[in-house]
Homo-oligomer: A and B are copies of this chain.
């Protein structure tokens, strides 16, 4: 580059401007200045802008999405949520726009504690509630806390939510599959498994749909008390029970032994990324530290919106109308399957967002799910939710909440044909 004095004359600016610019570019690494040898342009790879690759991974389109765990996205009350956000933005004091309590804002912790006490029979106080972005996140922090407290092995349901083993392993613990039968988790197996904690879905076992019996409930609490173990209750979709009132949360039986996890992902939509836990005193400090150290909390504005949405009864109203709709959808799916493919046995109670359909012969449920996918029909095989070494089945796991009744009837008819062809 020309000497600063020469360039200043060329450009008709003061020399100070040029030396400032040279100094700036040198600080950014674009120029190299050495005394006596002038200013040179650095050899640098310049940042370049590359467009992102198309995000669609190229699998065929899904016409009937019967994957489990998805609520009715069309029913999300967009206007009401918008009104709550607008209200939150109107009322929140400026000072509350700073770094929030990493465990969640007081308004939402209070609203959640009232809600889970009233609706799920949970023993909760605002200060035992922790707000986070997802149940996955919350449970991960429990595993990490337990590991710090000396735990080594965690029992998970088999069949069960497949991702749970990832959360356990990610925290440096060993995941130990424990079998599930028609009465829920086989509690008798826990002693031999030598686990320090167990993760359960007692209200509506995922994915078999069974409700844990009261004998098993007492037994698992007794086991936890004897062993000094922790129970994690994943209450993911318990708000939806269609033939009777939902069984209360297990947590109410032993709040000192049980961490309770709830979410808006099933009652509203996963996109909100809002979930909560009620954690017992003995792990509260260790779990809180995880939240304080990594700071995962959701937007304060969204937390305030959610608090109002819950306290004004909007969540209850939305659940009530969703329950009626989901029940009709479940009926449409189940009745079509039962009439078209009587060899399928529908398992579990009428609850939640999915059913399990057991196949009565040893056919390959993975192959059926794969053939279905070729027809634009997305379903899960039970195999997908089992530890490979202890697979049960065959069965299909079918979500119904996000499809209309006519869609469900058509999808179920296609699926029935596939099943019949496979038997």
Contact = CB atoms under 8 A, between A and B. Distances in A.
B244 A24 contact: yes
A294 interface: yes
Contacts of A44: 252-253
A242 to B, nearest CB: 14
Given A73-B98, A99-B54, A225-B12, A48 B123 contact: yes
Contacts of A244: 20, 24
Nearest to A106: B55
Interface size class, chain A: 35 or more
Given A17-B228, A149-B21, A98 B270 contact: yes
A298 B298 contact: yes
A125 interface: yes
A51 B101 CA distance: 11
A287 to B, nearest CB: 13
B82 A78 contact: no
A47 B89 contact: no
Nearest to A19: B150
Contacts of A274: 299
A109 interface: yes
A21 B94 contact: no
Interface in A361-382: none
Contacts of A298: 133, 273, 298-299
Interface stretch (A134-142, A328-336, A412-420): A134-142
A14 B196 CA distance: 9
Contacts of A302: 299, 302
Interface in A109-157: 109-110, 113-114, 117, 121-127, 133-134, 136-137, 140, 149-151
A246 to B, nearest CB: 9
Contacts of A79: 89
A394 interface: no
A97 B73 contact: yes
Interface stretch (A26-34, A173-181, A340-348, A383-391): A26-34
A227 interface: yes
A116 to B, nearest CB: 9
A254 to B, nearest CB: 9
Contacts of A245: 24
Interface of A: 8, 11-14, 16-17, 20-21, 24, 26-29, 32, 44-55, 70, 73-74, 76, 78-79, 81-82, 85-86, 89-90, 92, 94-102, 106, 109-110, 113-114, 117, 121-127, 133-134, 136-137, 140, 149-151, 166-167, 170, 196, 211, 213-214, 217-218, 225, 227-229, 244-245, 247-248, 250, 252-253, 255-256, 265, 269-274, 282, 290, 292-302
